[in-house]
Amino acid sequence: MSFNDIFKSSFLQNVTAVSMLDMVVALLLAFCVGVFIFFIYKKTYQGVMYSASFGVTLVALTMITTLVILAVTSNVVLSLGMVGALSIVRFRTAIKDPLDIAYLFWSLTAGIVLAAGMIPLAVFGSIFIGAVLVLFTNRKTYTRPYIAVISCSPAAESDVHGILKSNAEKCVLKSKTVRKNLTELTYEIRLKSDDTSFINDVSDIVDVESAVLVTYNGEYM
């Protein structure tokens, strides 16, 4: 090893490992695909509280993954070190909707495929995945269930059950809590239509103290 080899910088040698044109094209495409994923996520979101920061994270994740893969594909030694460095990363944010995991993997996959130079696969694959998500997520395949909570006297139970039964396609008693001169009934019902005025008829019964109707999606109550 000569004296000049000691001061030879491998860092400077890696400056031209990825051309400026490749970086610009890859990042622009990653941004466009990330924005597309963001709009699909916003259109298909059906949760309780929409998180705009998660949508921006999808765009950033696509671009960050593209940067990482560009660096890995340009240097084999760097790829081994990158695997070790990323192995200590843990995603600790709670995922509220299982579909959010699909969007995270979609962003990661799109960034990887773009950085690998498979642009048609990334573009047409993202369009196809987006179309599938829009088709199946916004499709109403079942009647949304409701939970009706009725507080009444024991004498009004039959009247309450009759009104709910006549206005619902399916009516199931889930729980019954009895206190002194007061009964709390919890029904799971599936309506025949979107008309919920029948709950007013229930509250008009003389011995009914309160009538509450809430939607239920199986995730919160």
Question: For the segment 109-141, what is each residue's pLDDT rounded down to a tens digit?
Answer: 998 888 888 889 989 999 999 999 888 876 655
pLDDT given at position 160:
86
How far apart are alpha carbons 163 and 196 in whole angstroms? Answer: 12
* Cβ-contact 67, 86 below 8 angstroms: no
pLDDT given at position 143:
65
Q: What is the DSSP letter of 9?
A: -
The encoded tokens of residue 46 equal 């059906």
Considering the segment(s) 145-215 as one domain, its CATH architecture is: 2-Layer Sandwich (3.30)
Specify burial of residue 153 (Cβ count, 10 A radius: 0-12, 13-18, 19+): middle
Q: Which of 76-85, 122-131, 201-210 is predicted with the least confidence, judged by mean pLDDT? A: 76-85
pLDDT given at position 6:
44
Per residue in 23-59, pLDDT tens?
888 889 999 999 999 999 988 887 656 677 888 888 9
Q: Is the confidence at residue 84, as pLDDT, over 60? A: no
Per residue in 57-76, pLDDT tens?
889 989 988 888 887 776 65
Measured in whole angstroms, how far is the alpha carbon of residue 151 from the centre of its chain? 36
How far apart are alpha carbons 60 and 199 in whole angstroms? Answer: 47
Per residue in 180-192, pLDDT tens?
788 888 888 888 7
The total of other beta-carbon atoms located within 10 Å of residue 86's CB is 10
Q: Is the confidence at residue 221, as pLDDT, over 50? A: no
Q: Which of 17-21, 42-46, 90-94, 122-126 is predicted with the least confidence, judged by mean pLDDT? A: 90-94
Task: Name beta bridge partners: 210.
Answer: 151
pLDDT given at position 18:
66
* Domain residue extents for the chain: 3-137, 145-215
pTM exceeding 0.75: no
* Cβ-contact 67, 27 below 8 angstroms: yes
Helix axes 20-44, 119-137, angle to 10 degrees: 10
Q: Is the confidence at residue 13, as pLDDT, over 60? A: no
Annotate 131-180 with DSSP letters as a single string: HHHHHHHS---SPPEEEEEEEE-GGGHHHHHHHHHHHEEEEEEEEEEEET
Q: Is the confidence at residue 90, as pLDDT, over 90? A: no
For Cα atoms 59, 61, 64, give the angle at the middle one, nearest 5 degrees: 110
Counting other chains too, the contacts that 17-24 makes at CB distance below 8 Å and 24 or more residues apart are 17/74, 17/75, 18/70, 18/71, 18/74, 22/70, 23/70
In the predicted model, what is the mean pLDDT of the chain? Answer: 78
Q: Helices (H), strands (E): how many in the chain?
A: 9, 4
Q: How confident is the model at residue 1 (pLDDT cuts 50, 70, 90)?
A: very low
The total of other beta-carbon atoms located within 10 Å of residue 30's CB is 28
Return the CA Rg of the chain.
28
